[in-house]
Amino acid sequence: MTDRETHWNEVYGAREETALTWFEDTPAVSMTLLRRAGLTRQSRVVDVGGGASRLVDALLADGVRDVTVLDLSAAALAVARGRLGARADAVNWVVGDVTKWDPSQPMDLWHDRAVFHFLTEEADRAAYVRTMMRALPTGARAVIGTFALDGPERCSNLPVQRYDAASLARALGDGFERIDSHAHIHRTPMGRSQSFVFGLFKRL
Ligand SMILES: C[S@@+](CC[C@H](N)C(=O)[O-])C[C@H]1O[C@@H](n2cnc3c(N)ncnc32)[C@H](O)[C@@H]1O
C-alpha cells in the first residue's frame, strides 16, 4: 500500500463520514452541473476520488444505471457501500489511483470534487489528464471542482493546488474546452467556509 492510500484509509477510519470537512449531505452543485452536462439514466458516469460521497446515492436516485466510483481508499468505498446496502450492488466500485487507472469502457461523464487539487506535481496532473483522455471520447463531459484561489491551502493535512476557472482549464490542456464554470462556497460540518471553483468541460 502506498503512503497516500494509507493516509486516506486512516482519514476515513478515524472519523464518521459526516464529520469530514468535505462532507455534504446533498451534492447539489455536482448534480446541477452533471444535469447541465447532459446526464440521463443511460449515462455512464465515473466519480473519481468519490470516496464516501453521497453523489452515488443521488445518481442512483435519479435512475442512472451505470455508475463507477473510483477511489484510492478501500475504507472510503466501504463507507459508501455500507450506507447504500443492497443498492451498492448496482455500482462499479474500483479501488485505484486515478493517475494510473485504465477504464474498461468509455464514459459519458467524469466527475471529480476535491481530488484534482491534491495533485501538486506536474507529472501527476499530466497522468490524471491522460486518464481523462482515455476515459472520455470526443464530446463527453467532465465536471471538476477544486479549491478556488481564495480557498484553503491544505486539506486533510495535505497541500493543494488552487485554481480559478481559467487556470483549471489550462491545467486540463487543449484536449478539453471549458463550457461553464461555477463559484461555490462549501460549509464544512464545523461551520467554516471553503471557496470552490467548478468547471464543466467538453472533450474535444
Ligand atoms: C477531499 S476527499 C473528496 C471525496 C469526494 N469526492 C467528496 O466530494 O466527498 C478526496 C478523495 O480523493 C481520494 N483520492 C486522493 N487521491 C486520489 C487518487 N490519486 N486517486 C483516486 N482517489 C484519490 C481520497 O481517498 C478521498 O476520498
Ligand 1 neighbourhood includes 98 CB (under 6 angstroms)? yes
CA distances from 85 to 82, 145, 182 (A): 5, 28, 33
Query: What are the cell numbers at 16?
Result: 464518521
How many A from CA of 97 to the centre of ligand 1? 9
Q: What is the pLDDT of residues 5-50, one digit of tens each?
A: 999 999 999 999 999 999 999 999 999 999 999 999 999 999 999 9
Place of cell 463531459: 141
Nearest to residue 12, comparing CAs of 63, 66, 80, 86? 80
Ligand 1 neighbourhood includes 68 CB (under 6 angstroms)? no
Does residue 146 register a pLDDT over 90?
Answer: yes
Greatest alpha-carbon pair distance for the chain in Å reads 41
> Cβ distance 196 to 148 under 8 Å?
yes
How many A from CA of 51 to the centre of ligand 1? 5
Q: How confident is the model at residue 84 (pLDDT cuts 50, 70, 90)?
A: very high
Find the CATH number of the domain harbouring 118: 3.40.50.150
Q: Which domain holds residue 143?
A: 3-203
Specify the ligand 1 atom closest to the Cα of 112. Answer: 6
Q: Whose CA is nearest to atom 18 of ligand 1?
A: 97
In 37-163, where does DSSP find H-type helix? 55-61, 74-84, 122-135
Ligand 1 neighbourhood includes 27 CB (under 6 angstroms)? no
Query: What are the cell numbers at 19?
Result: 464529520
**What is the number of domains present in the chain?**
1
Ligand 1 neighbourhood includes 118 CB (under 6 angstroms)? yes
Mean pLDDT score, 98-123: 97
Give the DSSP H/E element, type plus range, for residue 171.
Answer: helix 165-172
Q: What is the pLDDT of residues 69-83, one digit of tens each?
A: 999 999 999 999 999
Does residue 149 register a pLDDT over 90?
Answer: yes
State the pairing for strand pair 154-155/176-187: unpaired
